[in-house]
Amino acid sequence: MKIILYEHHTEASLWLDDLARALPGADVRLWQPGDTAPADYAVVWRAPPELFANRPDLKAVFNLGAGVDAILEVERKQPGTLPPSALLVRLEDSGMGHQMVEYAAHTVLRYLRRLDEYDALQREHRWQKLPPFALKDFTVGVLGMGVLGARVAQALAAFGMPVRGFSRSKRDVEGVRTFAGDEQFEAFLDGTRVLINLLPHTPDTEGILNRRTFERLAPGAYLVNLARGGHLVDDDLLHAMQTGQIAAATLDVFHTEPLPDNHPFWRTPRLTITPHIAAETLREESIEQIANKIMALARGEPISGIVDVKRGY
Ligand code: NAP
Ligand code: GLV
């Protein structure tokens, strides 16, 4: 079995060694430009299109992330980039779930307990109590009830706040009031005080965090974008924060990463920025998951996590 790996971080050799160790007997190599030798599987993150060229035998492409928007964007611009015979497989949790829960819980509790406002008061040496929010009114809405969104929603529900979830098809998630499809989108938004985005970035979800969406939320709502920058209309957020419709926001993802130095977000009060670290791809967990799936495919068994290329996730 031949496997090509494309991992553009400095850790590529560590990924190579660990993948080879997890699949004894497999011939695992780092793909280099010009390498057209046969391969059965590709394990990639943001690979150049040449990697896939003339590979009719490729059985599966393993994406080293949960989101497949980058690889599908290349396929949309240059149809046929991905070999039609190859399955596209995304990471399913693989250690990202608990990271998302930690990040989301920290952010929601920070807003619930007004700790961001107390930070600002402390900087001004002001000893001032703010009226607390009632837990029962602090409704959290999670966009996306997939692997990560459902886990975040359930974890937040355990704190006792009302939690809603939104997906394309109806999902049952214990402790969470679920909404599905475009026709229930407004009902999902009405009265939501914290909106957390964990949708995949597809043509259908592009720009979903926009002025109309913000206007339906409870006044003085909070936005937490943990999915992709392309979900957000930046100017609409800036406007909503100026009017106070959005009181504060936490953004982990941006249209351009790193966020350019001259972007107004850097200068917006009550806007928290992190550099796309909400849930990182963990080497050990990811390699274990991918190696198990490669072995299952080699035995002719089905695997989960196969992307529906037409749907976009
Ligand atoms: P997933 O398991 O594929 O879940 C996607 C969810 O979104 C599903 O519930 C799906 O509905 C719903 N959905 C998709 N299109 C929709 C639409 N048009 N309308 C309504 N709902 C829609 O994905 P995941 O593993 O949870 O990951 C979600 C995203 O998180 C990734 O795509 C990635 O962009 C982002 N992410 C970010 C980081 C970070 O560090 N910031 C790390 C990892 C992932 P159905 O259930 O009906 O299919
Ligand atoms: C990271 O953003 C991922 O999609 O895994």
Which residue type occupies 240?
A: A
Closest CA to 157 of 134, 174, 145: 174
How many structural domains are present in the chain? 2
Residue 292 lies in a domain: yes
Give the span between the Cα atoms of 5 and 252, in whole angstroms: 27
Pocket test of ligand 2: the residue of 99, 281, 282 to mutate, having most ligand atoms within 8 Å of its CB, is 281
Output the domain CATH number for residue 84: 3.40.50.720
Provide block-wise average pLDDT over 10 residues at a time, the chain (313 residues): 89 95 97 96 96 95 97 94 95 98 98 98 98 98 98 98 98 98 98 98 98 98 98 99 98 98 98 98 97 98 97 97
Minimum-distance ligand to the CA of 250?
A: 1
pTM: 0.98
Residue 42 is predicted with a pLDDT of 98
For 191: left if phi > 0, alpha if psi spans -120 to 50, otherwise beta; the answer is left
- 44's enclosing H/E stretch is strand 41-44
Residue 226 is predicted with a pLDDT of 99
Residues 163, 110 share a domain:
yes
Nearest CA to ligand 2 atom 5: 65
Residue 304 lies in a domain: no
The answer to whether the beta carbons of residues 160 and 185 sit under 8 Å apart is no
Residue 59, domain extent = 2-94+281-298
Dump the DSSP string for 49-100: GGGGTT-TT--EEEESSS--HHHHHHHHHSTT-S-TTSEEE----TTHHHHH
Residue 2 is predicted with a pLDDT of 97
Residue 11 is predicted with a pLDDT of 87
Q: For ligand 1, is residue 228 a contact (CB within 6 Å)?
A: yes
